[in-house]
Structure 1
Amino acid sequence: MKFFPVLLITLLLTACTSAQLNQTMGEVNKALGKDAPLTTAEVAEGLKQALINGISNGSSMASQLDGYFKNPKIKIPFPPDVKKVEDKLRQIGLGGEVDKFIMTLNRGAEDAAKEAKPIFVAAIKQMTIQDAWSILRGSDNAATEYLKRTTSSLLYDKFKPVIQNSLNKVNATKYYGDIVTRYNKIPLVEKVNPDLTDYATNKAMDGLFILIAEEEKKIRLDPVARTTELLKKVFGAQK
């Protein structure tokens, strides 16, 4: 009976119509000997639980110490719009100050990532049954794209003040101000002063969505790995 979890998720992810989905669930229910058939609402709720588990994992990884700083996939670099500042400062022996700033920039993102989970969870709970089926039948990152569409604006508004406070708390703002001030004092250079908070906010969000996409892939490949009682029923893990 252990082959049923793989069979069920494969069928659900490739089904194209409500009739096919209902037929698939009926066949699995029959094969598993279930008295009460699965409903579309139960399957949708099971997907929500799986996504919330994935979101929790992604947010937790991002908010840990070095969650951004030591993850090359999401590490926030020196602002590319002023890359010339970094290059020039390293040339004149101030590479240590630049490295310190980059570390504090990522510390700010790690601190702010703690605020992401409630926003994502709220969006998932508001997901309709139609949304759930679209995600199940969609591409490997369909859930991530759904969250981008439904949370980006709110996430930015929530993240920006937190990022600002976080950058101040870890002295990233001060380090950046010192770096820019030193750079602007170099003869003949074009003065710079980009919006550090906006840059850090967007990069922090990008990093979270990268981690969420990775968690979504795990859910699709091995749904039972993040099981709850409902997921056991939905994905056919029960004997």
Structure 2
Amino acid sequence: MKKLLYTSLIAVALSASACSVTDIQRTMDGVIAAGGAGTLTQGEVASGLKQALEVGINNGAGQASQTNGYFGNPLIKIPFPEDVQRVENTLRQVGLGDQVDKFVLTLNRGAEDAAKSAIPIFVSAIKQMTIQDAWAILRGDRDAATQYLKRTTSDQLYTAFNPIMVKSLEKTNATRYYTDIVNQYNKIPLTQKVNPDLDDYATQKAIDGLFVLVAQEEEKIRENPLARTTDLLRRVFAQQ
């Protein structure tokens, strides 16, 4: 039993940062000095990680859903669709840059409006996480939790998020502005007609942005003690 506790603490110590041998030995020495008191069970470690993920998701989605959560953040701001970039360039050349800017703004407003709906989907995936999943994350890379969520939620998130995103784009008039832009572009002589799927593009970009923010929150919790907002989080991540 004692061997298991030592092994568990070493795994936690290695989980989030490249600890030195001295750091690991210090952790083990603390357990020895305390006679094993206060050590964490595997279940507690798993629970702590789930709490960390929920904190990260709520903070990340909360940031994204604020005004300028997407539009004001260069890391996740959704640009004009790349596959029709020539549309933007041509429209700016013919004096329609204001319409392009208005569309990009409303596109990001749609993502901000839809972002908060992602939280229950993420939380559902977290609740299904096993102890084995938790230990694999703790032993993994610095963004292992975010990568886990990508693997386990991306398809479900897209399916649930897409209709919400469509409504949000309509609510912010992004769909109307985009249709007007495409129609005006298609009237320009000698241009190749375009009509890409805006809903798919916006949904995928919005999801990508959420994962960027969740990864940032994961890094904060791993590195910054002040970001550990519950007692269990502090106990788990103090062992790093």
Normalising by structure 1, report the TM-score: 0.86
Q: CA deviation at 1:233?
A: 3.5
3-state DSSP of counterpart to 2:80: coil
Q: CA deviation at 1:227?
A: 2.5
Contact 2:70–2:77 (Cα < 8 Å) also in 1: yes
Listed as ranges, the matches of 1:53-72 within 5 Å are 53-72=55-74
Q: Structure 1 residue 141 and structure 2 residue 143: aligned?
A: yes
3-state DSSP of counterpart to 1:152: helix
3-state DSSP of counterpart to 1:156: helix
List per-residue Cα deviations over 1:48-99 (Å, max 9, x = no partner). Answer: 1111111111000000000000100000000011111101100000000000
Counterparts of 1:14 and 1:58 in 2: how far apart (Å)?
Answer: 19
**Paired position in structure 1 for 2:99:** 97
**Paired position in structure 2 for 1:79:** 81
Return the match for 1:39 from 41, 55, 58.
41
Give the letter aligned to residue 180 of structure 2: D
- Report the CA distance shift for 1:47/1:30 in structure 2 as closer, same or farther (over 3 A): farther
Q: CA deviation at 1:216?
A: 1.0
Give the letter aligned to residue 199 of structure 1: Y
- Report the CA distance shift for 1:64/1:33 in structure 2 as closer, same or farther (over 3 A): farther
Counterparts of 2:35 and 2:233 in 1: how far apart (Å)?
Answer: 17
- Report the CA distance shift for 1:10/1:131 in structure 2 as closer, same or farther (over 3 A): closer
The alignment covers a number of residue pairs equal to 224
Identity of aligned residues (%): 63
List per-residue Cα deviations over 1:153-197 (Å, max 9, x = no partner). Answer: 010011110110000001000000000000001111111000000
- Report the CA distance shift for 1:52/1:24 in structure 2 as closer, same or farther (over 3 A): farther
Q: CA deviation at 1:236?
A: 4.7
Counterparts of 1:32 and 1:86 in 2: how far apart (Å)?
Answer: 65
- Report the CA distance shift for 1:208/1:31 in structure 2 as closer, same or farther (over 3 A): farther
Give the letter aligned to residue 119 of structure 2: K
Q: Can you give the 5+ residue segments of structure 1 that lack an aligned partner in the other structure?
A: 1-6, 16-22
Give the letter aligned to residue 215 of structure 2: A
- Report the CA distance shift for 1:106/1:33 in structure 2 as closer, same or farther (over 3 A): farther
3-state DSSP of counterpart to 1:131: helix
Aligned Cα root-mean-square deviation (Å): 2.5
Q: Can you give the 5+ residue segments of structure 2 that lack an aligned partner in the other structure?
A: 1-8, 18-24
Counterparts of 1:125 and 1:113 in 2: how far apart (Å)?
Answer: 20
- Report the CA distance shift for 1:77/1:53 in structure 2 as closer, same or farther (over 3 A): same
Give the letter aligned to residue 63 of structure 1: S
Give the letter aligned to residue 147 of structure 2: E
The farther-off stretch of 70-79 and 122-131 is: 122-131
- Report the CA distance shift for 1:127/1:188 in structure 2 as closer, same or farther (over 3 A): same
**Paired position in structure 2 for 1:180:** 182
**Paired position in structure 2 for 1:123:** 125
